[in-house]
Structure 1
Amino acid sequence: MKLSAPLYHLKRKAKLLSRAENIPLHEALDRVARQEGFSGWSLLAAKVTATAPTEKLFARLAPGDLVLVGARPGQGKTLMSLELAVQAMKSGSRGVFFTLEYTEKDMLDRFRAIGVAREDFAGLFEFDSSDEISSDYIVKRLAGAPRGTLVVVDYLQLLDQKRENPELMVQVRTLQSFARDRGLIFVFISQIDRSYDPLKKPCPDLEDVRLPNPLDLSLFTKTCFLNNGEVQFRAAS
C-alpha cells in the first residue's frame, strides 16, 4: 500500500487536525493513519520502516561497532533500532534496549508494530528505562554481556542531561572502549536538528545531527539516516 503523501506531510496534516479540532496529537495521528488504511499511526510508521533493509544492515555490523541511527520524529528510527536488536536475537545473540524516553508498554507497542512477539525472545531481550542511564550505568549493567550483544541507546542527546553525568564526549568514548573490549555492538538513536530541510536533501547526514553539547562524530563506525522511507547507510572511511 502506497501512502498518499510523504510521512512528514502526513504528520503535519495530523498536527493541523489536532489544532483545528482540539484533539490530542496521538488521536489525530491515528485518524490520519486510518485514512491511509492502517489501524493506527504506529503501524503506518512500521510500514515505512519495513522498506528498510534491516537484515542487510545487520549483516554489515560487527562486534565493536558504534552505530548512529538518525532521523526526524516519526520516521521510524526507533523501530529500525528495535528491528536490529531483533535481528541480533534471531542470530542467537542478546538485545538490550536502554531508554530515557519509552515505558515498558511503549516498547511492547513497538514490538507489535513490527509484527514481533517479545515472548519469542524470552531470555534474550532486556529492557531498561532507569532514570540513572549513563555510560557508567550501562557499563555496569552489561558487565556480563556476551560478545555479539546488540545494545540500543535511546537516545544519544539525553545521556548527559543530568549535570552529575560526564560530558557526552566522555560517555561515548567510554562506551566505544567498552564495545571494543567486550565485542558488543552499540546502536545510538539520535535526534536531527530542526534546520534539516528534506526538500534540499532526501536524508539527513552527520551535519544535521543535533548536538547541544560537543561530540566527535567520527567516534561512530557506521551511520544510518532515515527520511520518508529512504535509508542511507554508510561505514566510516
Structure 2
Amino acid sequence: MKLSLPIYRLKRQARLLSREAKIPLAEALDRIARREGQPSWSMLAHLSARQNVGARLLSEFAPGDFLLLAARPGHGKTLLGLELAAAAARAGRDAVFFSLEETQAGLLKRLADLRVDPPAQRFAIDTSDEISAGHVISRLETSRRGALAVIDYLQLLDQRRSNPDLCVQVRDLGEFARAAGVTIVAISQVDRAFEAHGGSLPGLADIRLPNPVDLGLFSHACFLHDGQMRLQAIGAVS
C-alpha cells in the first residue's frame, strides 16, 4: 500500500477538511481514506501499521543474518513473513517467499488482503515441492547482496526422505546467508504445549522440533503471540 503522503499529514488534511466542510472528523478521515484507495480510515490505519511492522523489523537485520520467525497457528507469522519480503522488494532488494505450506494463489490473496503490491521485478513466490536448503541456495546464488528469502516453514524442509536432515539444512542455510550477504527468514511452528503454560510470548524452548536442530545457528529469533512481538539475538552473527 502506497500513500500519497505520510499518515500524519493525511490526518492533518482530515482535520482541515472537517473544519472547512463542517463535517465530523471521523467522516473527514474516511473521505481521505477513500481518496487513498481504502474503504475507511480504520482500514487505512490498520494496513499502514502492519506495513510499518514489516519495514521496522527489516531495518533490524544486516545482510547475512539468519532469522527464526516463530508463533502458534493464527498469530501472524506467515503474514509478517510476507510483509518482510514485500518491504525488502519495495526497498529495491531481491526477495523470494518460499512456501511448502501455501499455494501461490493463497499467498497472492494474502498480499491482496494486506493491500501490499511489491514490485514484480524484485519479488517472487516459489511453491515448488522441491523446496529444501539446496533449492533455496540454488535459487539465491545469483541474487545481489542484501537479498531476502523467507522459508515457510522450517519443520517441512526435511519432510522428503531424499532431503538432508533438518540440522544439516539449517547449518547450510546459515553458512550461505553469511557468505552471500543474504538475509534468510525461517518461519517456525511453536509447540502447542506453550499455550498450556500460559506464557505471554513463546521462546526458544517452545520451538517445535520433531528432529534435532541447533537453534544457535540462527542469529536472531522473532516471537509473535496475541499481537505482541519480541526480537532477540541468539548465536551466529554475520
TM surpasses 0.5:
yes
5+ residue gaps in structure 1? 1-42
TM-score by length of 2: 0.75
Corresponding residue SS for 1:203: coil
Deviations 1:46-92 (A, max 9, x none): 87x83973222111101111101101111100010111111111211
Distance in structure 1 (CA, Å) of the matches to 2:221 and 2:114: 22
Q: How does 1:76-155 map to 2 (within 5 A)?
A: 76-118=76-118, 121-155=119-153
1:200 corresponds to which residue? Answer: 198
Supply the AA of the counterpart residue of 2:189.
Answer: Q
Supply the AA of the counterpart residue of 1:70.
Answer: A
Task: Tell me, yes or no, if the aligned pair for 1:93 and 1:124 is still in contact at 8 Å.
Answer: yes
How far apart are residue 236 of structure 1 and its match? 2.3
Supply the AA of the counterpart residue of 1:73.
Answer: P
Q: Closer, same or farther in 2 for the Cα pair 1:83/1:227, shift >3 Å?
A: same
Distance in structure 2 (CA, Å) of the matches to 1:223 and 1:117: 27
Distance in structure 1 (CA, Å) of the matches to 2:151 and 2:202: 20
The answer as to 2:229 corresponding to 1:231 is: yes
1:50 corresponds to which residue? Answer: 50
Corresponding residue SS for 1:212: coil
Task: Tell me, yes or no, if the aligned pair for 1:52 and 1:229 is still in contact at 8 Å.
Answer: no
User: Cα RMSD between the aligned structures?
Assistant: 2.0
Distance in structure 2 (CA, Å) of the matches to 1:51 and 1:91: 13
Distance in structure 1 (CA, Å) of the matches to 2:98 and 2:229: 23
Q: How does 1:18-97 map to 2 (within 5 A)?
A: 50=50, 53-97=53-97
Deviations 1:203-222 (A, max 9, x none): 11111000000000011111
Supply the AA of the counterpart residue of 2:63.
Answer: P
Corresponding residue SS for 2:193: coil
2:170 corresponds to which residue? Answer: 172
Distance in structure 2 (CA, Å) of the matches to 1:61 and 1:192: 22
Supply the AA of the counterpart residue of 1:55.
Answer: A
Distance in structure 2 (CA, Å) of the matches to 1:185 and 1:93: 11
Task: Tell me, yes or no, if the aligned pair for 1:198 and 1:204 is still in contact at 8 Å.
Answer: no
How far apart are residue 199 of structure 1 and its match? 6.1
Corresponding residue SS for 2:144: coil
How far apart are residue 117 of structure 1 and its match? 2.3
Supply the AA of the counterpart residue of 1:65.
Answer: D
Distance in structure 2 (CA, Å) of the matches to 1:78 and 1:103: 13
Highest CA radius of gyration, 1 or 2?
2
Supply the AA of the counterpart residue of 2:155.
Answer: Q
Distance in structure 2 (CA, Å) of the matches to 1:79 and 1:62: 21
Distance in structure 1 (CA, Å) of the matches to 2:159 and 2:104: 21
Task: Tell me, yes or no, if the aligned pair for 2:94 and 2:122 is still in contact at 8 Å.
Answer: yes
How far apart are residue 198 of structure 1 and its match? 6.8
5+ residue gaps in structure 2? 1-42
Corresponding residue SS for 1:175: helix
**Identity of matched residues, %:** 46
Corresponding residue SS for 1:147: coil
Deviations 1:125-169 (A, max 9, x none): 111111111111111111201111110000000001111110001
Supply the AA of the counterpart residue of 2:60.
Answer: R
Corresponding residue SS for 2:151: strand
How far apart are residue 113 of structure 1 and its match? 2.1
